[in-house]
Chains A and B, each alone.
Chain A
Amino acid sequence: MNEKAMRKSRWITTVFLIIIIGITYLSAMITKFNFIDGIATLPKALSWIFANLWITQETWERLPAILGKLNETIFMSIAATTLAAIISLFLGLMGSKTTKVNNVFSMLARLIASFSRNIPVVAWSLILLISFGQNSLTGFLALFVGTLGFLTRAFIESIDEASQSAVEALQATGATYAQIVNKAVIPQSLPQMLSWILFMIETNIRSATLVGILTGTGIGYTFDLYYKSLNYNAVALVTFTIVIAVIIIELISNRIRKVIL
């Protein structure tokens, strides 16, 4: 890049910034959103939260039932993630530049990945709700499809990054495809893949709550029920248990990551 081109690219940045500010202002005008008003309602909202979302003595009695649902949600997330991971491994191998078998499969793998990833998990759960009805399979599938796309994408990158040179060397020795994948690609990219899987389990437990509200399964459904029956104390307890569960899972997966990397 010469000096002229560099100066030009800096200009482009400035112009973009101005355009973005313009768009922000314009959309606020159209939707009649007033930032000051939004801030002004904050104290009121906070005082409502402190007044109503309080865990009282009698809500603790509901804890066993809530924990049961929470367990179900956690294991559903883990099951969806691990199953998606197995299929993503194959799609990743097909999609990666280093290990692809041919261009057709590579395109297909990338297509499946981007299709399932670019439709948000919320949309997936609503679509699947219509076709599969209200049961835990729907929630499972919604998480599964979203995870599949993300993990395939991540695996393709892990494989490309980790093992290109070793793959070349093993090809030069006359090794077969399966030997190369099993003895060079997987040993080299496994830690990174596991790290992505752990990340996805964490994310899925978080989104399982939302998916549960939409599809009527797991802890999300419990949340929804208490919320609609105006039992805000129970809602507070549900939220609290979710937060604790997510923190615990995060701590565990951080520990595992430290060991494997």
Chain B
Amino acid sequence: MSLLQVNNLGKSYNSETQVLKDVNFTVETGEFVSVIGPSGAGKSTLLRCINRMVEINEGKVIFNNSDVGSLKKKDLRKLRTDIGMVFQHYNLVPRLTVIENVLHGRFGYKTTLQGVLGRFSEEEKEQAFFLLQKLGIEEHAYKRCDQLSGGQQQRVGICRALIQDPKLILCDEPIASLDPNSSKVIMDHLKSITNELGITCLVNLHQVEVAQGYSDRIIGLRKGEIVFDGKSALLREEQINHIYGTERRELITV
């Protein structure tokens, strides 16, 4: 059984525009999959359907043998602990310290009271520091997040996702607000998460070259439909043009 199955998924926010149409794909454990496509193609919505941050209209999402769409509130919380999420704008609590933000990833495993009182076990704290060390931001552990650079904040975001001990990590444009150097650091970390820890990664990306360089497989989304699904090496110029339509232009020529 695959880790994630998406069957005939459809989603619309209002009656006029359908954001996702009949989306089908599967993701196996340990795969690094990129989703590419122009802005407004439905990449973010697709990702948020998987952990049901948006409600699913049609079709099914089956993660780890459970039907995401039909879960009750408590089971949904439990499912979300298995899925980490990394955001374009990091979505940290800026006024809190790095270590506090990382430990937020454990809330799904705690009772409400434990979470509110901030009771974390020694192992959890050690794990948090281990992760910070692994991503190279250990020395910032007690700094407030708004004092960190974008790349550093995104690494905090990754730590928060990893401490959940997830089976799948969803990354919504993780490098869209970062400079090329930080972008490379972040992508390298994500790649090593899949390779070393065996955690599956599903990454939304804007940059086709980055997707080709890092992922095992690429899914091309255009106007809510999958128009390409295959090994990165198979993605050729004509397919890219098909995904991006006529909108694709050479933006920067160095």
A residues apposed to B, CB below 8 Å: 163, 165-166, 168-176, 178-179, 182-184, 187-188, 191
Cβ contact within 8 Å between B92 and A175: no
Which of B79, B85, B95 counts the most A-chain CB atoms under 10 A from its CB? B95
Given contacts A178-B115, A179-B112, A183-B116, contact A172 B85 (CB under 8 A): yes
Cβ contact within 8 Å between B81 and A173: yes
Cβ contact within 8 Å between B87 and A165: yes
Asked if B45 is at the interface (CB within 8 A of a chain A CB), the reply is: no
Cβ contact within 8 Å between A183 and B115: yes
Q: Mark B131-154, 1 if CB is under 8 A from A, else 0.
A: 000000000000000000000000
Cβ contact within 8 Å between B115 and A173: no
Cβ contact within 8 Å between B81 and A174: yes
Cβ contact within 8 Å between A183 and B107: yes
Report, as a range, how many residues of chain B touch the other chain: 20 to 34
Cβ contact within 8 Å between B53 and A178: no
Q: Please measure, in the bound complex, the distance between the C-alpha atom of A166 and the C-alpha atom of B94, giving whole angstroms.
A: 9
User: In the complex, how many angstroms separate the beta carbon of A182 from the nearest chain B beta carbon?
Assistant: 5
* Chain A binding surface SS class: helix
User: In the complex, how many angstroms separate the beta carbon of A66 from the nearest chain B beta carbon?
Assistant: 43
Closest to A189 in B: B95
Q: Please measure, in the bound complex, the distance between the C-alpha atom of A188 and the C-alpha atom of B110, giving whole angstroms.
A: 22
Cβ contact within 8 Å between A168 and B87: yes
Q: A166: which B residues are within 8 A, CB to CB?
A: 91-93
User: In the complex, how many angstroms separate the beta carbon of B50 from the nearest chain A beta carbon?
Assistant: 10
Complex A-B: 21 CB contacts under 8 Å? A163-B93, A165-B87, A165-B89, A166-B91, A169-B92, A169-B160, A170-B104, A171-B53, A171-B80, A172-B85, A173-B85, A173-B104, A173-B160, A173-B164, A174-B81, A174-B107, A174-B164, A175-B104, A178-B115, A183-B93, A187-B93
